[in-house]
Amino acid sequence: MSSDLIVFLVLSLVAIATALGMLFSKNAVYSALFLVLNFVTVAIFYLLLGAPFIAMAQITVYAGAIMVLFLFVIMLLGAESLAPANSLPWQKPLAILLSIILAVEATYLLFNRAGTGMAVVAPDASVNTMESLREMALALFNQFLLPFEVTSILLLVAMMGAIVLTRQEKGAAQ
Amino acid sequence: MWVEWIVKGFILCLILLTGFAYLTLYERRALARIQVRVGPNRAGPQGLLQPIADAVKLIFKEELTPGKVYKVVFLLAPVLTVVPSLIIAAVIPLGTSFELFGREITLYVADINVGVLYLMSIASIAVYGIVLAGWSSNNKYAMLGGIRSSAQMISYELALGLSFVTAIILGNSMSLVDIVNGQKQLWYVVVQPVGALIFWIATLAEVNRAPFDMPEAEQELTAGYHAEYSGMKFALFFMAEYQKMIVICMILATLYLGGYLGPFVDKFPLLGPVYLFLKVIVLLFGMIWVRATWPRIRYDRLMAFGWKIMLPLALAIAFITATGILLADTFENPLYFWSIPVLSLISLFVAIAFIYRDLRRKSHGRV
């Protein structure tokens, strides 16, 4: 058993445990914290695969920026422990059904591919150098410039929408 | 190999811990000097044993855990604040390398090719300790302090990130060792003085130092996020703040002030840490000076300054730097290269003019 495999097994246990912790903890702040741990674990998976750039980006963007905003909102609203309001009774069975379908599908694909030698293998080290990062950036800003710009405009519109929706109209404040 | 890493990591932690202890003394003495006082000078010669006395006092202080706190998070928050401030220093090069017992020992813990990104990601993680301390204290003042600090740190992280980008563009690498080596001819502060200034202001806000020490504004929030902490747990917050000060001065020196470079450093590599140390001392004095002489900025102005001045200015700086480098490379004309500092300084003056106009307009009547 190589040391990578041991690290991988431990990390996957941590990842699953934190994901479950996020789902089942009663307090929203604890859920958010479990999610942060989960993101950090995923970042270490990327490091294991030899992709330091994506690992650091994962920590900066998800654990560092997005989850801080989540926590910020949870604390600002004081929504740490909302009463369990079961407003949608059909939601739970549907969620269970869908997740079973997803799990079966994933398992099927995994075992199906494993036989044919198309199983998930770590890319060789040459893919993950800074040189390939340069290649990726060049492709992103030349070949895929239009999708990139469209995505950024989409994000901008979402941001502006949030501002417009929360703005108090003049005279209507009272 | 791994023994070397452990020893180096241990030494780095030790440097930061002693650095923290003596930085408190340095700050108190310098503050006292500026305010025409003497400062702590009783324990040992020139007060040199004062940090040790402080440490002993803090260890023996009673440690209270208030009844209605969220206990696990309350205990975890000081640790979460200290750890990032210690591990962030791992990628900062203290020097080149020297020979010891026939093997080459490098003067940095790790030279990873995404060093700058590592700094960014650890800096973004550092918010959690403060936010969680504020929340878990179950105290309105502490909570407000925590929320304020998270808003402030998120806001200034953008300008900070962009000034990192400027240094990356100038150094053409994300590895801090490469960035330092790129400054052999010229420190980047000469090319991009405004970038260094933005970095400095943004990091003052990131570590909650005066004049941006909103999260602990005494007259509004008692002590902000650490109001409920006492004894060693309080000391950990204190420690994190001062270690962060040291580390950001090291980063600023590395990115813009040539890091460990100095005269004769090629022949005597052990001079490297000495030069870095001297640069850090000077930068730290700047921070203490600001604290001693500037009043705390108002919270709405702090946010307005971060979003309306710092972010556009940092964007302009990054754009000017990238364009200047590109044009200088394409046309092989150094004139374009020297347009970078000129244009940056012009945009800085424009920004200052905006601040001035805004302040003048506000002092007449409307808020």
Per-residue pLDDT reduced to its tens digit, A2-37 = 777 888 888 899 999 999 988 888 888 888 889 989
Residue A27: which CATH number? 1.20.120.1200
Nearest CA in chain A to B122: A60
A118 located within any domain: no
Asked whether residue A174 carries a pLDDT value surpassing 50, the answer given is no
Which chain A residues are closer than 8 Å to B69 by Cβ? none
How confident is the model at residue B367, as a pLDDT? Answer: 43
- More confident call, A82 vs A49: A49
Q: Is A5 a domain residue? A: yes
For residue A121, what pLDDT band results from cuts at 50, 70 and 90?
A: low
The pLDDT value given to residue B91: 82
Instruction: Give how many domains chain B has, as a whole number.
Output: 1
- What is the percent of chain B with per-residue pLDDT over 90, rounded to a whole number? 0
- Summarised one tens digit per residue, pLDDT across range A31-66 is 888 998 999 999 888 888 777 788 888 888 888 888
Please tell me which of the candidates B124, B143, B147 has its beta carbon nearest to residue A64.
B124
pLDDT given for residue A149 in this prediction: 92
Q: How many domains does chain A have?
A: 1
Helices B193-206/B271-293 angle, 10° precision: 70
Residue that wins the pLDDT comparison between A168 and A129 = A168
Q: What is the ipTM of this complex?
A: 0.78
Residue A150: pLDDT band (50, 70, 90) is very high
The Cα B27–Cα A101 span in angstroms is: 62
First to last CA, chain B: 62
| Domain interval for residue A48 | 1-81
Note the pLDDT of residue B41. Answer: 79
In a domain? residue A13: yes
pLDDT in tens, B239-286: 888 888 888 888 888 888 887 877 777 777 777 788 888 888 898 898
Determine the pLDDT at residue B183: 82
What is the band of B141 on the pLDDT scale with cuts at 50, 70, 90? Answer: confident
* Concatenated DSSP letters of B177-222: HHHHHTTSSS-HHHH-HHHHHHHHHHHHHHTT-TTS-GGG-HHHHT
Instruction: Say which of A57, A68, A76 has its CB closest to residue B154.
Output: A68
A170 falls in which pLDDT band (50, 70, 90)?
Answer: low
**Tokens 């302040």 — which residue?**
B359
What is the rounded distance in angstroms from the CA atom of residue A54 to the CA atom of residue B64? 42
- Return the beta strands (E) in chain B as ranges: 97-100, 103-106
Determine the pLDDT at residue A104. 93
Give the lowest-confidence range in A147-151, B110-114, B166-170, B200-204.
B110-114
Asked whether residue A20 is assigned to any structural domain, the reply reads yes
Give the minimum alpha-carbon distance from B175 to chain A in angstroms, rounded to a whole number: 10
Question: Does pLDDT of A114 surpass 80?
Answer: no
What is the 3 state secondary structure string of B113-170? CCHHHHHHHHHHHCHHHHHHHHHHCCCHHHHHHHHHHHHHHHHHHHHHHHHHHHHHHH
Chain A residues in contact with B120 (beta carbon < 8 A): 56, 60, 64
- Structure-token match 């958010």, residue found: A32
Mean per-residue pLDDT, A79-87: 64
Establish if A162 belongs to a structural domain.
no
Report the gap between the CA of A75 and the closest CA in chain B (Å): 7
- Of A85-99, B25-39, B205-219, the range with the highest mean pLDDT is B25-39
Range(s) of the domain holding residue B92: 2-363
Residue B139 and residue B78: Cα distance in Å, rounded? 16
Distance between CA atoms of residues B343 and B349, nearest Å: 10
B143 touches A: beta carbon within 8 Å: yes
User: Whose CA is closest to B341, among B202, B188, B201, B199?
Assistant: B188
Q: Is some CB atom of chain A closer than 8 A to the CB atom of B114?
A: yes
